[in-house]
């Protein structure tokens, strides 16, 4: 087992364009890790099969968003020369692994998964949960282990999935022998980025909640969304003391703003702590803070938009990148699946010893 290799697997569901929550929660980190040169292999997956588990009746939505997510990846700086970008459904080995891992997980264990519980509520599934959706943590374990990933950079909501994966790995290795690798989760080190709230103040910016600032939003759209953002509801007049905790405008500043931004855009303050202190004291209006946030965010998004524009002019090339990535990912997954099947003793035709031993056994029978 090649334990010493450092391998990343992570990805996103093609259920919409990617937003700034994805960016700070995972995407930005991926690009940094990619460029650090510390990893032997980086696999970035567009999880279309997973997206279909709760969008079975809307395949067109998934199909349309593949290219959107791919464009978001490339525009953030994921580089196909360094990272393998691929589409989940094109790797049948992942489905096969899922089928075998299903035997290692109980229904009650899946029912306990807090993220899945939450998502079931959000989607109003109640008693009509599709089996595929219910089991998606198992399919995620296949995605991670198929590539023998050691590191999975994700947002906080993915913690229960990685825990489930680790349990499956331990259980598999215990029963069948050491084949799979237990992955480590890599969370953002900035607290604000663990789970970026929505512009409406809801706990999570999420494609399904319509409370997102998209990486591909125009300058005008971003400004409009920021200026109408939810803030502290008790901060009515400028003189009133305001609350920065749980205030999404300040959480976004925590996520995006650096001291340099004050030098260029708001030299009245040295840093975010000073700005927060003023807001808390009272005498600082929301509009001013929002204008500053707009400047900070536009600065971060501008190069991303520019790169996107360039790739948008060459869509066939983007599909080619995904096709090549998928071919490469399929080879890696096939190698793991072969090991898995050998360990599970379902590699009948590759096992010459088995065939000879059976032949011997039956020859000896009278
Ligand atoms: P959906 O509503 O379809 O589930 P989503 O917005 O939750 O969409 P995913 O594709 O499920 O997006 O998540 C992709 C990655 O982005 C995961 O690693 C997840 O942890 C991270 N992520 C998603 N939303 C946020 C957020 N608001 N803050 C930080 N990270 C996030
Ligand atoms: Mg999600």
* Cβ(55)–Cβ(61) below 8 Å: yes
Q: By the 8 A CB rule, do 98 and 138 touch?
A: yes
Question: Does 3 have pLDDT greater than 70?
Answer: no
Of the candidates 254, 255, 257, 273, the one whose C-alpha atom is nearest the C-alpha of residue 265 is: 257
pLDDT at 127 over 90: no
Q: Quickly list DSSP for 262-321.
A: HHHH-TT-SSHHHHHHHHHHS---HHHHHHHHHHHHHHHHHHHHHHHHHHHTTHHHHHHH
**Nearest ligand to the CA atom of 158:** 1
Place of tokens 């003023």: 278
Distance 115 CA to ligand 1 centre (A): 11
Q: Is the pLDDT of residue 97 over 80?
A: yes
The tens digit of pLDDT for each residue in 35-64 reads: 999 999 999 999 999 999 999 999 999 999
Give φ, ψ of 256 to 5 degrees: -115, -25
pLDDT at residue 52 in the model? 97
Pocket of ligand 1 (CB under 6 A): 12-13, 15, 21-22, 25-26, 154-155, 157-158, 195-196, 204-208
Rounded to an integer, what distance in angstroms lies between the CA atom of residue 317 and that of residue 44? 17
Beta strands in the chain (DSSP E): 7-12, 41-46, 84-87, 151-153, 184-186
- Ligand 2 centroid to residue 79 C-alpha, Å: 24
Going by pLDDT thresholds of 50, 70 and 90, the confidence category of residue 126 is confident
Q: Quick one: pLDDT at residue 210? A: 87
Query: What is the mean predicted confidence (pLDDT) over 92-98?
Result: 98
Question: Looking at residues 20-34, what average pLDDT do you find?
Answer: 94
Query: What would you report as the CA-atom Rg of the chain, rounded to the nearest whole angstrom?
Result: 24
CA–centroid distance, residue 187 to ligand 1 (Å): 13
Number of C-beta neighbours around residue 91 at 10 A: 26
Please state, in angstroms and rounded to a whole number, the distance separating the CA atoms of residues 91 and 43: 13
Q: How many angstroms does the Cα of residue 206 sit away from the middle of ligand 2?
A: 7
Structure tokens at 62: 């998934």
Q: Following DSSP, what letter does each residue of 225-267 receive, concatenated?
A: HHHT----TT--STTS----TT-HHHHHHHHH--HHHHHHH-T
Q: Which residues contact 22 (CB under 8 A, 6 or more apart)?
A: 12, 72, 155, 215
Place of tokens 């008790």: 234
Q: Inform me whether the pLDDT recorded for 18 exceeds 90.
A: yes
Atom of ligand 1 nearest to the CA of 209: 2
The answer to whether residues 252 and 297 touch, using CB atoms and an 8 Å cutoff, is: yes
| CB-based contacts of 165, cutoff 8 Å, min separation 6 | 137, 140, 141, 144, 145, 182, 183
Number of the ligand closest to the Cα of 204: 1
Closest CA to 141 of 169, 117, 121: 169
**Residues near 82 by beta carbon (within 8 Å), at least 6 away in sequence:** 34, 35, 42
Model confidence at 124, pLDDT cuts 50, 70, 90, reads: confident
| Residue 269 confidence (pLDDT) above 80 | yes
Taking a C-beta distance cutoff of 8 angstroms, is the pair 285, 279 a contact?
Answer: no
Dist CA 305 CA 218 (whole Å): 8
Counting residues of the chain whose pLDDT is more than 90, the rounded percentage is 89
């Amino acid at each position: 087992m090649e334990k010493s290799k450092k391998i990343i697997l992570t990805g996103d569901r093609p259920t919409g364009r990617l937003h700034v929550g994805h960016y700070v929660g995972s995407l930005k980190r991926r690009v940094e890790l990619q460029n650090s040169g510390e990893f032997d292999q980086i696999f970035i997956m567009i999880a279309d099969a997973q997206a279909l588990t709760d969008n079975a009746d809307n395949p067109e939505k998934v199909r349309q968003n593949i290219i959107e997510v791919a464009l978001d990846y490339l525009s953030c700086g994921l580089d196909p020369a360094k990272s393998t970008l691929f589409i989940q459904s094109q790797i049948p080995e992942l489905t096969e692994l899922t089928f075998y891992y299903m035997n290692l997980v109980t229904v009650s264990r899946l029912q306990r998964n807090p993220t899945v519980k939450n998502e079931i509520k959000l989607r109003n599934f109640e008693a009509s949960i599709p089996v595929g959706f219910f089991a998606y943590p198992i399919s995620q374990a296949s995605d991670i282990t198929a590539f023998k990933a050691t590191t999975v950079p994700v947002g906080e909501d993915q913690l229960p999935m990685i825990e489930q994966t680790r349990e499956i790995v331990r259980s598999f290795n215990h029963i069948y022998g050491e084949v799979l690798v237990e992955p480590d989760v890599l969370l953002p080190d900035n607290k604000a980025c663990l789970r970026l709230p929505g512009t409406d103040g809801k706990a999570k910016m999420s494609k399904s909640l319509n409370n997102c600032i998209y990486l591909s939003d125009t300058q005008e759209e971003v400004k409009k969304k920021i200026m109408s953002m939810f803030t502290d509801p008790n901060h009515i007049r400028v003189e009133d003391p305001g609350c920065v905790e749980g205030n999404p405008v300040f959480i976004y500043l925590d996520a995006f703003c650096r001291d340099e931004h004050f030098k260029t855009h708001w030299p009245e303050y040295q840093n975010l702590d000073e700005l927060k202190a003023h807001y808390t004291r009272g005498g600082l209006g929301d509009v001013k803070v929002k204008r500053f946030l707009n400047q900070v965010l536009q600065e971060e998004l501008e190069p991303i938009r520019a790169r996107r524009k360039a790739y948008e002019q060459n869509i066939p090339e983007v599909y080619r990148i995904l096709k090549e990535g998928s071919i490469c990912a399929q080879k890696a997954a096939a190698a793991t699946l072969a090991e898995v099947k050998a360990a599970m003793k379902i590699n009948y035709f590759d096992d010459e010893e088995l065939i000879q031993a059976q032949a011997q056994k039956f020859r000896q029978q009278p």
